[in-house]
Structure 1
């Protein structure tokens, strides 16, 4: 896949993160191109002294394009997107952007907001409410997505939480949403969603962009019943932790252990840390970190890795993240350490684990999920 984006007699070199040999996916899409073309062709005046806010930039295409036009603040919930954005800014020798997570405060007096629609409507509402509290009257909001992902319900969310909303015609199967903030709609940001898991005596809270916002998903329910316990587990990793429920259960079953919860979502890591405070007698037993899988983790530093891999990156369906998780887990495990993985039956993780570890055991399954164990 060619990594050059060429528009308006300008070319950017853009790579996805982490970089892979023979990459088949682009680091931008038609919605990015539509946004760039619209702002350029509409002649929207840009003041180099005022912030441009860019939300949910997948790998930095928008941040790179507008880096010379104002003080770019890029807002993302993705550690991987942040790393990709920084790498692409450096590759193209552009000024650095201020890259913040979705829980951080937005810069004051922005001149323009560009948004890629998030997959999660809860995160969309959170961001719209953030913007409504902040935007001056002269700051337009322009959002973009694949046309199939912009529904009448999407436009109603903009109308309800931000202000008057219009939409464009589709170009290359992408559409734009135009909105102007109405201060009368401003309201406090919603609190994290909270619910009880009585069978495990937990109360869980999720920030807006964390998977399964108001109930325990069925995969986690199965894995919770099959977490190993024993004095040999001194260092445990919950990889792809979400709200931390698996790591918290592992910490309870193994009170002698230190547990690290790892996710690439800032909101997930914040939720996991918050849930540890509420559900563990010794919250210091658990630490939540934002990372790309187990980058930088020392070899032979863990006795048990628990993993519920995602099978998509941004909007692209892919299995390379699961494979990286399994490889990183093998690197981090000590001799005789265990990797316990849950996945949908159709994903075929068993074959991958057998190829990597030389062994795999099915320790539980139902009609949808399988729990595998591989020993190092």
Structure 2
């Protein structure tokens, strides 16, 4: 590949140019894997004793389609097609891949995990997500839309499908079995058993931070975690370490909680610095919903600062030279791929968005070497604090 990240997915219906988002010519990762291919082959030809699925007269819903490979291949082949995703980047990839395939903008209904699911689902296709909690939440939300004749097929790589995965399908949908493995991928077949009272989702979880949050504005916060958001039932040790070394912001200013998760860091800052305007941003719809709920529960209507809650591509949607500080706990994986690309984009995006004199505060594992990237971008990097596992770093935009 030269100058493009597009690869070709070949199916019985044709081949499709697909790419991840954001596109990067250096990125060699495909926008689909063997589990997507296995599911598409099954729909056309069947698998063993399980027959093929004629979707032409069906209302089809696809959940967990990471980069839109399934939606793109199925577009125009069903009576209606809905994709449900928690990922802003996945949604943008889907939009771009559908456009490459010549699919009209209204050819696929794009929903988020926070939206109301379709009222009737004849065929439910599930690309098993990394988060078991997100799978549980979405199966509970989708099950009431199924009927006795609905077809439910899950797919994933063998390493992603565990006994606990199958137990969720069995408990929430109905009797469940799996296919033989092909190219390290496996299919899940669940037979819906419509119930008078479908199992409600146990999500979100709500809990209160105690002394583990440290003697500061985070202690006593009520935290809301929607399914799939990092560290669902406790304050993770990295965030705890950052909060212990983050000084309060003095006076007015615009602060970004970048990759906000459940919003604990930004909410603690807003509580201790009431004049600050805090922007919570994440690529996960579940995360931003969590952050907004956490903020609303803890910061009263009399607060001086004005919060904003943005689902987006990191900090890319904010104007250059527009913020005073960025707080960041970057992930070192993206859609199950171990990579520092996400952290690099977060850091470079922060450098662009910060005003001169603005500060980027980063919490990270010691071994990741973030100080080297920050020095390259900012020309400086201060070690604020460290322990055996984590470092807190501060970089200042000087020009």
Quote the Cα distance in structure 1 between the aligned partners of 2:252 and 2:184.
Answer: 51
Which moved further from structure 2: 26-35 or 7-16? 7-16
C-alpha contact 1:47 1:111 (8 A) present in aligned 2: no
Equivalent in 228, 233, 258 of residue 247 of structure 2: 228
Does 1:207 find its partner at 2:226?
yes
C-alpha contact 1:117 1:143 (8 A) present in aligned 2: yes
Tell me the equivalent position of 1:265. Answer: 284
Deviations 1:67-113 (A, max 9, x none): 11121110001101000001100011024311111121111222211
Deviations 1:324-365 (A, max 9, x none): 100110111011100000111111101000111000011011
- Quote the offset at 1:292 in angstroms: 0.5
Quote the Cα distance in structure 2 between the aligned partners of 1:182 and 1:83.
Answer: 34
Equivalent in 43, 65, 69 of residue 73 of structure 2: 65
Structure 1: gaps spanning 5 or more residues: none
SS at match of 1:33: helix
Tell me the equivalent position of 2:118. Answer: 107
Structure 2: gaps spanning 5 or more residues: 47-51, 212-218
- Quote the offset at 1:230 in angstroms: 3.8
Tell me the equivalent position of 1:172. Answer: 183
Deviations 1:108-167 (A, max 9, x none): 222211111011111111112122211011111100111122122221121111101010
- Quote the offset at 1:4 in angstroms: 0.7
Quote the Cα distance in structure 2 between the aligned partners of 1:195 and 1:367.
Answer: 28
Equivalent in 38, 42, 55 of residue 63 of structure 2: 55
Deviations 1:28-49 (A, max 9, x none): 000000000000112422234x
Aligned pairs (5 A) from 1:309-320: 309-320=330-341
Tell me the equivalent position of 1:33. Answer: 37
RMSD, aligned α-carbons: 1.5
- Quote the offset at 1:233 in angstroms: 5.2
Structure 1 segments of 4 or more deviating over 4 A? Answer: none
C-alpha contact 1:131 1:162 (8 A) present in aligned 2: no
SS at match of 1:288: strand
Tell me the equivalent position of 1:130. Answer: 141
Q: In structure 2, do the counterparts of structure 1 residues 9 and 104 end up closer, same or farther at CA, with 3 Å as the change threshold? A: closer
SS at match of 1:292: coil
Tell me the equivalent position of 1:330. Answer: 351
Deviations 1:229-254 (A, max 9, x none): 34365100000000000001111222
TM-score, length of structure 1 as denominator length: 0.96
Which moved further from structure 2: 363-372 or 228-237? 228-237
TM-score, length of structure 2 as denominator length: 0.91
Quote the Cα distance in structure 2 between the aligned partners of 1:193 and 1:110.
Answer: 27
- Quote the offset at 1:10 in angstroms: 1.2
Tell me the equivalent position of 2:91. Answer: 82
Does 1:97 find its partner at 2:97?
no
Quote the Cα distance in structure 2 between the aligned partners of 1:233 and 1:363.
Answer: 23
C-alpha contact 2:136 2:201 (8 A) present in aligned 1: no
Equivalent in 315, 318, 335 of residue 294 of structure 1: 315
Equivalent in 355, 372, 379 of residue 351 of structure 1: 372
Aligned pairs (5 A) from 1:180-195: 180-184=191-195, 186-195=198-207
C-alpha contact 2:17 2:97 (8 A) present in aligned 1: yes
Aligned residue pairs total: 375
Equivalent in 11, 15, 31 of residue 11 of structure 1: 15
C-alpha contact 1:4 1:13 (8 A) present in aligned 2: yes
C-alpha contact 1:131 1:181 (8 A) present in aligned 2: no
C-alpha contact 2:205 2:225 (8 A) present in aligned 1: yes
SS at match of 1:285: coil
Quote the Cα distance in structure 2 between the aligned partners of 1:258 and 1:351.
Answer: 30
Equivalent in 303, 306, 324 of residue 303 of structure 1: 324
